[in-house]
Structure 1
Amino acid sequence: MRFTPHVTVATIVEDQGRYLMVEEISSKQVVFNQPAGHLEASESLIEAACRETLEETGWSVEVTGVTGLYLFRGANGVTYQRTCFAAVPVEHHAELELDEGVLRAHWLTLDEIRARQAQLRSPLVLQCLLDYLNKPSYPLDLIR
């Protein structure tokens, strides 16, 4: 059996100390996550990050850096390879319908996210945010 991790992206969008988060249904539970999702065959990682953010939050963003690369094995036994990006908000498109399963988007502080730790979709949600805050950001040309 061939090992095939799922390639995913996530985007940390900050505006004045608040972070764009998605409240969504996953495995019949309400969870919080950064805007995130799977890479599609016809797009770059950066394009995927912008697309997923728009589809899940209604916000178009400008990706500014790479926060980190992560491997995570989910409770479902699937391994995910996540590329996490930093971005700034550009424009809100309130008229857009959000992806199926997404309840709403929120702007939350770090303390508000920590208070929801039991509801985070995975440990990567907080880890990526803490890395964004405490570790260097890498230039986008890291990705070729």
Structure 2
Amino acid sequence: MQWKPNTTVAAIIEKNNRFLFVEEEIEGKLVFNQPAGHLEKGETIIEAVKREVLEETAFDFTPKSLIGVYLYTNPKNEDITYLRFCFYGICTKEQNQRKLDKGIVQTIWMSKEEIERKGRMRSPMVLNCIDDYLTGNSYPLTLLNDFQHDRK
């Protein structure tokens, strides 16, 4: 079997020194994460992060910059590796009637200090992405290129 990393996207959304997180149930445990998920077939990286934020938070999302690209291997299963594209952006509209993805318990705004106190991060990438954002990591979205043949 050929090994491939799981390509994922995540969003840093900050308002009044608080970040938007999702609390989700993973393997029977409640953990915190940025709105995040997997790239689906036929999507661009930008389309994926917009979709994931909408599905997990019911907010429309406009990405403004790329914070970083992260490689993480699951310490419990070294065959599982994630390649995560983390974006900074803004929420533009809330779709109040929309149901959140299965497994999402709630969305919650917390400061970095509050999330650190709670612990229970889905992975170390959660705090790494926030730290990179707070230290000013920011790359233009034009860094990403989409070469899908069926797109114009």
**TM-score by shorter chain over 0.5:** yes
Aligned runs of 1:75-86 on 2, under 5 Å?
Answer: 75-77=76-78, 78-86=80-88
Q: Which residue of 1 aligns with 2:149?
A: none
Q: Identify unmatched segments of 5+ residues in structure 2.
A: 146-152
Deviation readout 1:37-65 (Å, 9 max, x if unpaired): 00001111011001000100111111000
Q: Is the 8 A contact 2:68 2:137 kept in 1?
A: no
Whole-Å Cα distance in 2 between the matches of residues 143 and 30 of structure 1?
33
Whole-Å Cα distance in 1 between the matches of residues 137 and 71 of structure 2?
19
Q: Which residue of 1 aligns with 2:61?
A: 61
Following superposition, the deviation at residue 16 of structure 1 comes to: 1.7
Whole-Å Cα distance in 2 between the matches of residues 14 and 28 of structure 1?
28
Deviation readout 1:103-139 (Å, 9 max, x if unpaired): 010111111111122x000000000010011032000
Aligned runs of 1:5-84 on 2, under 5 Å?
Answer: 5-74=5-74, 75-77=76-78, 78-84=80-86
Query: Structure 1 stretches (4+) deviating beyond 4 angstroms?
Result: none
What SS is found at the alignment partner of 2:13? strand
Letter of the aligned partner of 2:40 in structure 1?
E
Following superposition, the deviation at residue 76 of structure 1 comes to: 3.2
Q: Percent identity?
A: 43
Whole-Å Cα distance in 1 between the matches of residues 51 and 139 of structure 2?
21
Given the alignment, which residue of 103, 113, 124 partners 1:111?
Answer: 113
Following superposition, the deviation at residue 35 of structure 1 comes to: 0.3
Whole-Å Cα distance in 1 between the matches of residues 110 and 59 of structure 2?
15
Whole-Å Cα distance in 1 between the matches of residues 96 and 117 of structure 2?
27
Whole-Å Cα distance in 2 between the matches of residues 57 and 76 of structure 1?
29
Letter of the aligned partner of 1:126 in structure 2?
L
What SS is found at the alignment partner of 1:136? coil
Whole-Å Cα distance in 1 between the matches of residues 49 and 6 of structure 2?
15
Given the alignment, which residue of 93, 96, 104 partners 1:94?
Answer: 96
CA RMSD of aligned residues (A): 0.9
What SS is found at the alignment partner of 1:126? helix
Letter of the aligned partner of 2:35 in structure 1?
P
Structure-2-length-normalised TM-score: 0.91
Structure-1-length-normalised TM-score: 0.96
